[in-house]
Amino acid sequence: QPFDLIIRNANVVTASDSFPCDIGVRDGRIATLALALELKSARHEIDAAGRTVTPGGIDSHVHLDQATGDGSIMADDFESGTRSAACGGSTTVIPFACQLKGQSLRAAVDDYQRRAYEKALIDFAIHLIITDPTEDVLYRELPELIAEGYTSFKIYMTYDALKLDDRQILETLSVARAEGAMVMLHAESSDCIAWLTERLLAAGHKAPRYHASSRPMLVEREATHRAIAMAELVDVPILIVHVSGREAMEQIRWAQSQGLKVYAETCPQYLFLTADSLGSDNSFDGAKCICSPPPRDAANQQVIWNGLENGLFEVFSSDHAPFRFDGPDGKKAHGEDVSFDKIANGIPGVETRMALLWSEGVRGGRITPQQFVALTSTNAAKIYGLYPRKGSIAIGADADLVIWDEGRAVHISNEMLHHNVDYTPYAGMQLSAWPAITLSRGEVVWDGEPRGAVGRGQFLPCDSPAPAQVRRRKTELPL
Ligand code: URP
Ligand code: ZN
Ligand code: ZN
Ligand code: ZN
C-alpha cells in the first residue's frame, strides 16, 4: 500500500530525541519512520535533505474573534488567525470561548463554535473562560462540557468584565479538581491596578507607557502567590499563564520546590519587548505594545530565558490578541487622546512565535532543539489533553510537521505576515530561521505561500489531561 507522502532525509527532532529518517504519511497520519524508504513509493515526495523537521507548533494561548465588550474588535477570526498560525509553523491553536456574565457556558461554546465553523485552516481545540461561576455553571454545565472535550479553562483575577473573586476561584478550582480539568490563571491583582491607575490618571499620566507603571511586577507577584495558595488549599494543579518576569517566577519556583503542581507559560513579548516598547515619550505609538502583564526590562528578559532553559516553564505560547493600530475598532477605538486604561490589551504574535524561539533560542544557543519542541508543542499537547495525537513525531500521530529553513537572514516586517493586524511588535528584527513548509495532517498549508482550504481544520475534543490529575492529597482538609 503506497504512502500518500514521503518526506525523505529528514533530521527529525522531538522533545526527547534527534535522528535522521524518512517519514511515511498515510491518511494524514505518520505511518512509518525508517532510515530508508527508498524502495517504497508515494504519490508525493518532499526531499528534506539537510533540514530539521519538528512537530508542528501548538499555540495553546490565542484569542480569535473574541468578544471584548469595550468597543474594540479582534482583527483575526478563525480564518485569518489560523492561516497566520500555519504560515508561522503552528498546526494546532487553542483559542478561547469566553462566557459573558449572565450567559450560560453552553451558549458561549455554541457562539464560538459558530465563529469557528468552516473557517479554520488548521486543527483547533477550545479553552473556556469562566466569568460567571453560578451553581448551574459549575455543577451542571462545566462537568458536561469537560466530558465533551473542553477540558481546560481560564480564570481571570483582573479586568472588571472577566474577574472572579477569591471565593469564586476556590469553588471553581474545586470543580476542576473533581473533574480533572486544567485551570489557567491570569494572575494580576485587580485592586492594586485600579488604585495605581487612579493615582496615575489624577497626576495626569495617561500616555500608553503608563500602562506599565499601573501594573508593576509586584501586582503580578501578589496574585501569583495568592493563586498558588488557593490551588494548594484545594489541592489541584494549576497553570499560570503569560508570566512576565522574575517576581512571579520566584513564586512559581517556590511552589514547584514544595512539590505543588504549578505549571507556567511565558510568551515572546517577555523575551523581546520591554516597558520601553510602550514608548519613551507620550506618543500613542506605544499602544501597539500594550498587553498584560506588560513587558519588563532586559534583566527580566534574561530571567525568562533562564526559566525556559531550566524547565520552570512548560509552555511557550503567543497570547495572540490581535487589535489593529489604525482604524475605528482597534487600539484607537476610543481615539488617540484616550488614557492608557481605555486602550485594548493585547498584541499579535501567532505567526512569529515559532521562528523567534527557533532563531534566538535554538540557533542563539540558549535552549536545545529538544527543549524548543517541548516548549512549543509537546508539553502543550500533554497539558491540554491532545497527546499523543498532537505534539510528537511518532507512528500513529497526526502528520503535523514543520520543515525548517535555516541560516538565511529573515527580516521581520508586517508585510510578510498573514494576520489581519496592521503592525507587528517585532518589525525590524533579524532572524536566522523560518518555517519552509508546514504540514497539517500531511497536507501542505504553508510553503512560502499559504495553502490549504478554508474550513479544513477540525475541532479537537481534548482528553482530561494527565497533568491535571490529582495523585494524592497533600493536605488534610475537611473537603
Ligand atoms: O493583554 C493581553 N494579554 N490580552 C489578552 C488577554 C489575556 O489576558 O490574555
Ligand atoms: Zn495529490
Ligand atoms: Zn490573560
Ligand atoms: Zn491571553
The dihedral formed by the CA atoms of 149, 387, 238 and 221, expressed in degrees to the nearest 10: -120
Query: Over 70: is that where the pLDDT of 319 sits?
Result: yes
Pocket test for ligand 1, best of 188, 243, 340, 345 (most atoms within 8 A of CB): 345
Query: What is the distance in A from the centroid of ligand 1 to the CA of 375?
Result: 20
CA atoms of 352 and 417, how far apart (whole Å):
8
Q: What gap in Å lies between CA 469 and CA 447, rounded to an integer?
A: 39
27: left (phi over 0), alpha (psi -120 to 50) or beta: left
Q: Hey, what amino acid is at 243?
A: V
For residue 293 and ligand 1, the question of a CB distance below 6 A is answered with no
What residues does the ion ligand 3 have nearby, CB within 5 Å?
186
Cell numbers standing for residue 328? 475605528
Other Cβ atoms closer than 10 A to 13: 22
Q: Is the peptide bond before 388 cis (omega within 30 degrees of 0)?
A: yes
Q: Please tell me if the CB atom of residue 186 comes closer than 6 angstroms to any atom of ligand 1.
A: yes
Percent of the chain beyond pLDDT 70? 98
Atom of ligand 1 nearest to the CA of 291: 1
Q: Whose CA is nearest to atom 2 of ligand 1?
A: 346
Contact 291 CB / ligand 1 (< 6 Å): yes
Helix ranges restricted to H, 258-401: 269-272, 298-310, 353-356, 369-373, 379-383
| 396, 29 Cβ separation under 8 angstroms | yes
Residue pair 387/378 in contact (Cβ under 8 Å)? The answer is yes
**Centre of ligand 3 from the C-alpha of residue 408, in Å:** 34
List, for residues 399-441, the tens digit of each pLDDT value.
Answer: 999 999 999 999 999 999 999 999 999 999 999 999 999 999 9
- Which of 321, 190, 184 minimizes the C-alpha distance to 264? 184
Q: Which ligand is nearest to the CA of 443?
A: 2
Q: Is the CB of 421 under 6 A from ligand 1?
A: no
Q: What ligand is nearest to the CA atom of residue 4?
A: 2
346 lines ligand 1 (CB under 6 A): yes
CB-ligand 1 contact for 345 (6 Å cutoff): yes
Q: Give the pLDDT band of residue 40 (cuts 50, 70, 90).
A: confident
The burial class, CB within 10 Å (0-12 / 13-18 / 19+), for 133 is buried
- State if residue 63 touches ligand 1 by the CB under 6 angstroms criterion: yes
Best residue among 153, 319, 421 to mutate for probing ligand 1's pocket (most ligand atoms within 8 Å of CB) is: 319
- pLDDT, tens only, 90-148: 999 999 999 999 999 999 999 999 999 999 999 999 999 999 999 999 999 999 999 99
Q: Which of 73, 96, 289, 292 to mutate to test the pocket of ligand 1 (most atoms within 8 A of CB)?
A: 292
User: What is the distance in A from the centroid of ligand 3 to the CA of 216?
Assistant: 15
The residues placing their C-beta within 5 Å of ligand 4, an ion, are 319
Q: Give CA–CA dist 56/438, Å, rounded.
A: 7
The string of pLDDT tens digits covering residues 161-175 is 999 999 999 999 999
How many whole angstroms from 111 Cα to the centroid of ligand 1?
Answer: 20
What mean pLDDT, rounded, does the chain reach?
Answer: 96
Is 321 touching ligand 1 by the criterion CB < 6 Å? Answer: yes
Q: Show contacts of 304-310: CB within 8 Å, 24+ apart.
A: 304/243, 304/244, 304/245, 304/249, 304/266, 304/270, 304/271, 305/271, 305/361, 305/366, 307/243, 307/249, 307/264, 307/266, 308/266, 308/361, 308/366, 308/367, 308/371, 308/375, 309/366, 309/367, 309/371
Question: The whole model's pTM is what?
Answer: 0.97
Residues with Cβ within 8 Å of 336's Cβ and at least 6 positions away in sequence, in order, are 284
Say if CB 420 and CB 75 are below 8 A apart: yes
pLDDT bin (cut points 50, 70, 90) of residue 41 is confident
The complex's ipTM?
A: 0.92
Rg (CA), the chain: 22
- 256 phi/psi in degrees, rounded to 5: -65, -35
Q: Which atom of ligand 1 is nearest to the CA of 241?
A: 9
Confidence category of residue 475, pLDDT binned at 50, 70, 90: low
